[in-house]
Amino acid sequence: MERDNAIPTQQYTVFGSRLSFFTMKLVSAMEWYFQGEYEYCVKGGAMAADAGTIAAVIPDNAKLEVRAGTHQMPVMITPENWCVADTTPILTLLDGRMAEPRFYPVGIVGALAAVMEEYFDEWGPRWCIHTRWQCGEANSQHAASTMVSERSLPPAIAEQAVVSITKWGRERAARAIGVTSKVQQSAVEAEMLRVLGALDAHFASGHRFVFGNAPTAVDCVLMGCLRAHLLHDQYPRELFRHLDEVRRWHDTSFGVAVPASATVASRPVSLDTLSPFCALVLEEMGRDFARFAEGSRDAYNMKHKSFTATVYGESVSYLHRPYVEKSRRMLRQKLAVHLRRCSLHDRDAFGTIMRHYGLADLYLPDSVPTSSARL
């Protein structure tokens, strides 16, 4: 049995990369609510070169991946020396360590935040992989070189790492998530412009965050997407140069601790009072994303390695990633617990919203009582 050499600490440790979507999602959360209580460390070379070479350069990397059960990032070590490697469970854990939950607030806002987070978590990587690896040599080289420079690898290994990362992005990542055709690439960019254009208008109308004056999980995932990819990489930065309010929010909100007095939505939320931004995101979810999620669900149930879904009017073949369906199931479980703690009014309002946008079959739990169940 290996000796426990853990050192007691009050700090959280986040291992990841500055150019990782989900690392920056978690770092944004920590900066807003746990500033000064965590340390950020670069996670070394999961895809940078062959495992033997990287293990020799960063010997603790392999150990961290064994503990976490994944090569993906970020990974968090808690003060209790727990190792957690999925941002949604991490945010849920952190919610229980604040005076009141902020990432998934009490009431309907918390339920909507969880559903909208799912869209950006599972669909946003399509945006980021396309704009990083399929939009020109200079753009890809800039991203890969930045990733490698963060790891402080020896020059010979760094050169190999840039080649390996770029090849992975272009040949594996893009194909796996179905953004190789010109139709998909054009539609991905159009969707990004719709969503981020609505976010720009949301901020221009006076909103500080998606819901009220305090960030939720949705703000964390949006900031992660912008900070790691869309306002960092050359191609998307130019594509979104006209979104002044999104850029301002990114530049001025990150790293600013949120006061305890800040609150989320100050008025009741219902189908009729949803902000235009939230309404647009849910509408987008109910179209192509829903067909993708349904295809993933069916492939998981039938144990297929791939599936086909009609996305943006085109039949697209996807490599089945089991986590997409596992994430949907975890979300339904989360919502079942969350909604039982809500008022009947909020449960009814949430159900109405899910049905209106065609998301009830995917996300609305069956076991949560509503007012209609009492009739």
Nearest CA to 225 out of 196, 266, 262 is that of 196
Which pairing describes strands 306-311 and 12-16: parallel, antiparallel, or unpaired?
unpaired
- Side-chain-facing half-sphere of 208: CA atoms under 13 Å: 15
Over the stretch 81-116, which tens digit does the pLDDT of each residue have? 999 999 999 999 999 999 999 999 999 999 999 999
What was the pLDDT predicted at 4? 53
- Residue whose entry in the numeric block shows the structure tokens 């503990």: 67
Distance of CA 62 to the CA centre of its chain: 24
What is the model's pLDDT at position 157? 85
The pLDDT of 167-192, averaged and rounded, is: 90
pLDDT digits (tens, 9 = 90+) for 208-236: 999 999 999 999 999 999 999 999 999 99
3-class DSSP state for residue 38? strand
Residues 6+ apart with CB under 8 A from 358: 286, 287, 290
CA distance linking residue 319 with residue 300, whole number of Å: 11
Mean pLDDT over each residue of the chain, to the nearest integer:
90
Query: 89-93, 126-130, 259-263: which range is least confident on average?
Result: 259-263
| CA–CA distances in Å: residue 27 to residues 17, 198, 234, 345 | 10, 24, 22, 34
| 186 contact partners, CB below 8 Å, separation of at least 6 | none
Residue 307 has pLDDT above 80, yes or no: yes
**Eight-state DSSP code of residue 232:** T
Query: Residue 130's closest CA among 189, 58, 88, 44?
Result: 189
Q: Are the C-beta atoms of residues 309 and 292 closer than 8 Å to each other? A: yes
Q: What is the pLDDT of residue 6?
A: 54
Q: What SS3 state is found at 118?
A: helix
Nearest to 352 by CA among 265, 295, 268, 293: 268
Per DSSP (E only), the strands in 107-160 are none
pLDDT tens per residue across span 33-46: 999 999 999 887 43
Phi then psi dihedrals of residue 264, to 5 deg? -85, -160
Give me the mean pLDDT over the 334-357 stretch. 96
pLDDT at 332: 97
pLDDT (0 to 100) of residue 371: 67
- Asked if pLDDT for residue 249 goes beyond 70, the answer is yes
High-pLDDT (> 90) share of the chain, %: 73
The residues that bridge with 117 in the sheet, in sequence order, are none
Q: What is the DSSP string of 347-358?
A: HHHHHHHHHHTT
Q: At what angle do helices 217-225 and 21-33 cross, to 10 degrees?
A: 130
**Residue 47: band (very low, low, confident or very high) from pLDDT cuts 50, 70, 90:** very low
Section 339-347 average pLDDT: 95
pLDDT at 272 over 80: yes
Rounded-to-integer distance, Cα 11 and Cα 190, Å:
42
pLDDT in tens, 154-166: 888 888 889 889 9
The confidence band for 57, taking pLDDT boundaries of 50, 70 and 90, is very low
For residue 70, pLDDT over 90 is answered with no
Once rounded to an integer, what is the mean pLDDT over residues 339-350? 95
- Cβ atoms < 10 Å from Cβ of 371: 11
Predicted pLDDT of residue 8? 56
Q: Are 145 and 300 in contact (CB under 8 A)?
A: no
Per-residue pLDDT, 55? 37
Q: Residue 3: what residue type?
A: R
